[in-house]
Amino acid sequence: MARNTKYNLRDEDIETYYREGVVCLRGVLNHDWIKQLQDAVEEVLANPGPQARADESKGGRNLYDTFMWTRNETFWQLQCESPLPAVTAKLMRSSVSHLLADVLFAKEPNTPVPTPWHQDQPYGWYNGSQTISCWLPLDPVDLSSGALEYVRGSFRDNVWYRPVGFATGEEANAVEFQPMPEIEKNRDKYDIFHFDMEPGDLLIHHLLILHGAPGNDTSSTRRRAIAFRYSGDDATYVERKFGPKPIFPSGLKDGDKFGTDLFPQVWPRTGLLRRFWEN
């Protein structure tokens, strides 16, 4: 298949990212990548990993899985051959990009449960300003099917808010962070915006920007998306008492730099990533 390996990131894209906290890049991955990823997602859903979840408690079906690259060839190839790692390094203004995780989110049709407003970084095992998230839809997406919404520029406040449980909506008992503001009840007080997207488009946002998503109210449109977390030069590992954990023991302690088998350097490319499934 003729999968593209490069993407022309423009200076204005970088300027938008640092002004808004998020940039939408159109057509980053071509049709061949998307078709293979769609097939890979179905394979993952049929053979879920140890951290997979399926939430049907409030109607519809929300599906979640993570670290697919450690067991699926296509997800592994994405980090070895696609434009994503180079784009993230350039946006972070970093000399290096490390992969921290890939995460699958699937909202099936008639799934009314919204994704609560949150930031990504307080959930994660990473500190530092050079941290970034990519969100890649594998289906056409708009607000009716669960497009991501953002509070424009909110990352610039540099305030860390308490993580909110996606299933429960309850805040974590993280006294070191601020209570999450009630954005949904006060939408008119915030500059909220979103992007309609096609498969192959890529959202890249700062890990401290406030964002959420409505439910999938459509009767026939799936909303399959993959999120990728990357880090740059100044990022370090951190153990948190709440939130998700790495799929395997990391071998790292607080303050350590990334670059291990589980958190590999993906840009510049210096060699092939470990194939965990061959062990």
How far apart are the two ends of the chain, measured CA to CA in Å? 28
Q: How far apart are CA 40 and CA 235, in angstroms?
A: 30
Q: What is the pLDDT of residues 209-218, one digit of tens each?
A: 999 999 999 9
Q: How far apart are CA 124 and CA 237, in angstroms?
A: 9
**Residue 121 · residue 129 · CB < 8 Å:** no
pLDDT at 1: 59
Asked if pLDDT for residue 122 goes beyond 90, the answer is: yes
> Is residue 109 over pLDDT 80?
yes
Residues 149-163 have a mean pLDDT of 95
Domain spans in the chain, listed from the N-terminal domain onward:
22-242
Looking at the DSSP bridge assignments, the partners of residue 215 are none
**What number is the average pLDDT over the span 118-128?**
95
Find where tokens 């407003």 sit: 117
- What Cα–Cα distance (Å) separates residue 144 from each residue in 116, 188, 205? 16, 20, 21
Q: Which residues contact 142 (CB under 8 A, 6 or more apart)?
A: 196, 197
User: In this predicted model, which residue has the larger pLDDT, 165 or 272?
Assistant: 272
pLDDT digits 0-9 by tens, 125-141: 999 999 999 999 999 99
- The band of 231, judged by pLDDT with boundaries at 50, 70 and 90, is very high
Which secondary-structure segment (H or E) carries 228?
Answer: strand 223-231
pLDDT digits (tens, 9 = 90+) for 64-107: 999 999 999 999 999 999 999 999 999 999 999 999 999 999 99
Name which of 1-10, 25-34, 131-140, 182-191 the model is least confident about. 1-10
Q: How many CB atoms lie within 10 A of CB 254?
A: 11
Model pLDDT, residue 271: 87
Q: Is the pLDDT of residue 56 over 90?
A: no
Q: Does domain 22-242 have CATH number 2.40.30.10?
A: no
